Structure 1
Amino acid sequence: MDASRIASPVTGAAGRFLTGVGLLLRGLGLYVRSPGLMLLGIVPALISGVLFVAAFATLVYFVDDIAALVTPFADDWSTTARNLARVVAGLAFLGLGGLLAVVSFTAVTLVIGDPFYEKISERVEERYGGTPNAVEVPFWSSLRRSLADSVRLVALAALIGIPLFVAGFIPVVGQTVVPVIGAAVGGWFLALELVGAPFYRRGMRLPQRRAILKADRPMALGFGVAVFVCFLIPLGAVLVMPAAVAGAALLARRSLGQSIEGPLSASPVDGS
């Protein structure tokens, strides 16, 4: 399949980026209109959320000690210079931890809540005409593939996060430019992770969905960055996760050139 023919941008990059943001908003709209099924998605997100908040809180608690451990060269500096070096190191660690936490939170939550999120994604697609050429994917096979792809994505995020972590030590740039790049990187990996279910239903694995999303990268980034920012808000990941799954189904259909427009009288996602 030639990805370049699937989702050619029809407006500028900024317009496509906003289109991606709009897909998350539409997912939120489906969440509000159909709470019965969507609320089920909060359960696995809540479980993951508790685990990751505890892990990040532990990092915050020990970040001063970690910063001092990685900056032994500053021990003989003046108090002001030493403190500045360790504040920069601490912020760099928190930035890397935040990036990895957001991406891995999504991966873990999708694995824990696979049956719930698969059902949400299916219902969204049914609303707009169903899944063309769907393939039957056994639960355990789907879970193994999802887990393998999630591990690959988290590993890639960590690999890219290390240079960003190092760049975080650069004064000013490390606290301004690097977080923006981190949001873009995190957003891209979130988009790839979240569209997994609709692509699996079409028999497509990670390399294919990566190629297809690249065909309209600004739209995928708009969706992913919007999710990333929401996940940074306290409890945002728990509350937004089901809506992000719904929005990802729309992103997959849009990227594949399939309709995401339906009659206003269409039934709610939960069938109520």
Structure 2
Amino acid sequence: MGKTLRDFGTGAGLLARGFGLIFSSGRLFLLGAIPALLTSLLLFGGILALALNADDLITWATPFADDWSQTWQTVLRVAAGVSIVVAAVAISLLLFSGLTLIIGGPFYEAIAEHVEDRELGGVPGTQQVGWGRSAWIGLRDTVLLVLLAVVFGIPLFVAGFIPVLGQTVVPVLAALVGAWLLALELTAIPFTRRGLNLKVRRRTLAGRRAMTLGFATPAYLLCLIPLAGIVVLPAAMAGGTLLAHRAREFSTGSASPTAPSSPVR
């Protein structure tokens, strides 16, 4: 337990270092904030539409409760509303980070390169990804991660209908799942620069799960604040670069921490 808490704290410290790196350079901050702002504007309409139609959506999803007593009908539909919000938040954050990394691939690659040069003394053998390749890899990974979010979200959505448990434990579990998937997105560029694909990324981060969640959970929660992602995402990109390096150091694979293995396709 003690080691898990230390690793969790180390992960949170990596995010804090990311904020420090971004705020120490106005150029880096702008590089990361501009794509995040564009994506925020794109997704704002969808979130607003969901908010305006939430009552109708909940009623449509629970037609079997129309004949229930007012008390139980309210309990069920509040639970359904919480479940829908949790699912929508998880998917929207993945879309937000994924689309931002696709749109701003060269910007975030520049951030990753700056962090590696300044904090790690450079990483030998890294690859210049380029926008086209980065966009394709980012789109493919985002689709896969959103599908994973849906797979995990279905049982969590169902569990959200359970009174008390669905409004307390389920949102916590959903946040941890969302944070894990967000970490996979935020470390995409530094792993790709090393020639490592999503499968290797997932396995490597799983080897330091507590540290990964310590980094990603506060990033995930901060992104829940409206428009905070414009500031959080650049810092998380810088922190994610450090996390990728640290996780590779602890990897049990035969490859060296910095040398690329099989190329990403």
In 1, are the aligned partners of 2:94 and 2:142 still within 8 Å (CA)?
Answer: no
In structure 2, do the counterparts of structure 1 residues 138 and 57 end up closer, same or farther at CA, with 3 Å as the change threshold? closer
What do you get for the CA RMSD once the two structures are aligned? 1.5
1:115 maps to 2:110 = no
1:179 maps to 2:187 = no
Counterpart AA for 2:204 = I
Q: Secondary structure at the match of 1:169?
A: coil
**Which deviations, in whole Å up to 9, do the C-alpha atoms of 1:44-97 show, x marking residues without a partner?**
101111222221121111111111111111111122221222121112111110
After the TM superposition, which of the residue ranges 31-40 and 109-118 deviates more from structure 2? 31-40
Deviation at 1:136?
Answer: 4.1
1:88 maps to 2:70 = no
1:160-171 map, 5 Å: 160-171=152-163
The answer for unaligned runs of 5 or more in structure 2 is 251-265
CA distance in 1, matches of 2:77, 2:94: 26
1:119-198 map, 5 Å: 119-127=110-118, 128-198=120-190
Q: Secondary structure at the match of 2:249?
A: coil
CA distance in 2, matches of 1:142, 1:74: 47
Match of 2:44 in 1: 53
The answer for unaligned runs of 5 or more in structure 1 is 1-8, 259-272
Q: 1:28 aligns with which of 7, 15, 19?
A: 19
Runs (4+) of structure 1 exceeding 4 A deviation are: none
CA distance in 2, matches of 1:13, 1:64: 41
Match of 2:234 in 1: 242
Q: Secondary structure at the match of 1:131?
A: coil
TM, length-normalised to structure 2: 0.90
Counterpart AA for 1:242 = P
**Which deviations, in whole Å up to 9, do the C-alpha atoms of 1:1-29 show, x marking residues without a partner?**
xxxxxxxx9x6111101111111110001
1:216 maps to 2:179 = no
CA distance in 2, matches of 1:226, 1:253: 19
CA distance in 1, matches of 2:28, 2:134: 21
Higher relative contact order (CA 8 A, sep 6+): 1
In 2, are the aligned partners of 1:132 and 1:202 still within 8 Å (CA)?
Answer: no
Q: Secondary structure at the match of 2:196?
A: coil
Q: 2:243 aligns with which of 233, 236, 251?
A: 251
Counterpart AA for 1:109 = T
Match of 1:232 in 2: 224
Deviation at 1:38?
Answer: 1.8
Q: 1:43 aligns with which of 34, 37, 40?
A: 34
1:66 maps to 2:47 = no
In structure 2, do the counterparts of structure 1 residues 235 and 138 end up closer, same or farther at CA, with 3 Å as the change threshold? closer
Counterpart AA for 1:90 = G
Deviation at 1:221?
Answer: 0.9
CA distance in 2, matches of 1:230, 1:22: 15
In 1, are the aligned partners of 2:106 and 2:130 still within 8 Å (CA)?
Answer: no
Counterpart AA for 1:87 = V
